[in-house]
Amino acid sequence: MKPKKKIYMTAGYNTVSLGTGRKEFNPKKPRPGIEHYIKEAGQAVLEKVGGAKNVDETVISNFMAPRYNRQANLPGFAPMIDEGLLWKPAVSVEGACGSGGLGLTTSIRSVLAETADVVMALGFEVQNTMKAVYGADVLAGAGWYKVRKKGHAHFFPGQFSDRAGVYYEKYGYDRTRKGMAMWYHNAIINARKDPTAQEYHNTNPDPFATAYKMQPNGKVFVDHLTVLDCSKVSDAASALVVTSEEGLKRIGVDKKDAVEVISFANVIRDITKDPTDPTELETIRRAVQQAMADAGITAKDLATVETHDCFSIAGIMAVEALGLAPKGEGADYVAEGKTAADGEVPMNTTGGLIGWGHPVGATGVHQAVTIWQQLTGNAGDAQINIPADRPYGMTINMGGDDVTVTCIIYKRGE
């Protein structure tokens, strides 16, 4: 929908995305818990907006803290961030990997409902509390758990492996693998430009060659994906504030230092049914089309996109869902460099889920922080060119196997 009043986002912050790949990560040593991440991200945002006194409400997005961390009742952590949030409203939202996007739209709706002028949206996940194979069972909750036993031990890699297998058969194995290898290459190159990214320390001289050479092996992992096609297990938090015009004045932020929400869409498919076409992300396509129609733009107007590349094949299919390439040609579009930082439509400019990391409940918020950084010129070494005639940014946050999707379109405030 197109907001009936102006809605802004600003004051974004990301913690480090911690996990394998970061030099400081050691699975055998104690690591920060959820309190650390919630407090770091929350306090950093409050410092930018003049303190907790200026925040009316907090929305926390998270997927599986009750299982990863044995902790529920997450709204109660808001006053831990700052005593100034004590006795103020807080709520938590969950939509699997799409939780962050739902946190943002929940915040937007609070502002539209005029129950708040400044809402802090904070997403987090701390997943490195168990071995990956056990974590895979936790993540399977993002799908219909009744079919868990019929799936692969690594449930979600298995589901997207099945999608990739059908895609290879329909559109060609080698051309698809080239596109997927380039997707990984871009993720690593872009992540090296963001000090908070999980792959920031990656020194591979040729990520494309490494990914292209590594072939799927079902005896080792899943049939049609390699480990480089997958996002990693991550611990992190991201936060920003969602405000009205009045709220922006209250926190003392100029419009040019914020992004305006031009439109947003939240689309859901039936989790108990299989995708209609395994080679298409239909829910993403519908969400994107709805958001662009409400904004009055097309994909040609986008300067940059943050899309949910939990797996490289999902990135390829998202390119097609956006309409940047016809069905079956998304891999070619990527292989030609059109989604690179200096390409036609730069995507996932700080690495995306594969490069920056995938702290599930925080991912949608991290995407919004990245768009805010890019459109306001605050992306540091990761900064791309934002053409005057293509001023829009987009985030696509997906929960489960294309089940819960949020798409938001942004433009720099003016």
pLDDT digits (tens, 9 = 90+) for 333-343: 999 999 999 99
Asked if residue 358 lies in contact with residue 352, where contact means CB atoms within 8 angstroms, the answer is no
Those residues with Cβ within 8 angstroms of residue 384's Cβ, 6 or more apart along the chain or in another chain: 303, 304, 341, 342, 346, 349, 374
At 412, which helix (H) or strand (E)? strand 404-412
Least confident of 67-81, 121-135, 289-303, 312-326: 121-135
Residues 387-414 have a mean pLDDT of 98
Please give the pLDDT value at position 9: 99
Least confident of 44-58, 81-95, 125-139, 229-243: 125-139
Q: What is the mean pLDDT of the chain?
A: 97
- Domains in the chain: how many in total? 1
DSSP percent split of the chain into helix, strand, coil, nearest 5: 40, 20, 40
In a domain? residue 93: yes
Q: pLDDT digits over 351-387, tens only? A: 999 999 999 999 999 999 999 999 999 999 999 999 9
Please give the pLDDT value at position 153: 81
In a domain? residue 115: yes
- CATH number, position 25: 3.40.47.10
Residue 226 in this model has a pLDDT that exceeds 80:
yes
Strands 57-61 and 118-126: parallel
At 110, which helix (H) or strand (E)? helix 99-112
CB atoms within 10 A of CB 67: 18
Residue 151 in this model has a pLDDT that exceeds 80:
no
d(CA 27, CA 19): 8
Ordered strands of the 8-14 beta sheet: 90-93, 57-61, 118-126, 235-243, 8-14, 259-268, 404-412, 392-399, 302-306
- List the beta strands (DSSP E) in 100-256: 118-126, 235-243
Asked if residue 165 lies in contact with residue 224, where contact means CB atoms within 8 angstroms, the answer is yes
Q: pLDDT digits over 167-206, tens only? A: 999 999 999 999 999 999 999 999 999 999 999 999 999 9
Please give the pLDDT value at position 131: 87
Asked if residue 238 lies in contact with residue 12, where contact means CB atoms within 8 angstroms, the answer is yes
Please give the pLDDT value at position 152: 83
At 59, which helix (H) or strand (E)? strand 57-61
How many degrees, rounded to 5, is the angle at CA 155 between CA 65 and CA 30?
40
Q: Tell me which amino acid residue 142 is.
A: A
pTM above 0.95, yes or no: yes
Please give the residue range of the domain that contains residue 106: 8-131+233-256
In a domain? residue 405: no
In a domain? residue 312: no
Please give the pLDDT value at position 111: 98
Nearest to 306 by CA among 242, 260, 341, 349: 349
Please give the pLDDT value at position 133: 81
Residues 65-91 have a mean pLDDT of 98
In a domain? residue 288: no
Q: pLDDT digits over 268-306, tens only? A: 999 999 999 999 999 999 999 999 999 999 999 999 999
**Percent of residues, the chain, with pLDDT higher than 90:** 96
In sign, the C-alpha dihedral spanning 212, 218, 221, 224 is: positive
Residue 110 in this model has a pLDDT that exceeds 90:
yes
Where does the pLDDT of residue 105 fall: very low under 50, low under 70, confident under 90, or very high at 90 and above? very high
d(CA 403, CA 414): 35
In a domain? residue 239: yes
Please give the pLDDT value at position 60: 99
In a domain? residue 127: yes
3-state class (DSSP) for residue 13 = strand
Asked if residue 350 lies in contact with residue 379, where contact means CB atoms within 8 angstroms, the answer is yes
In a domain? residue 266: no
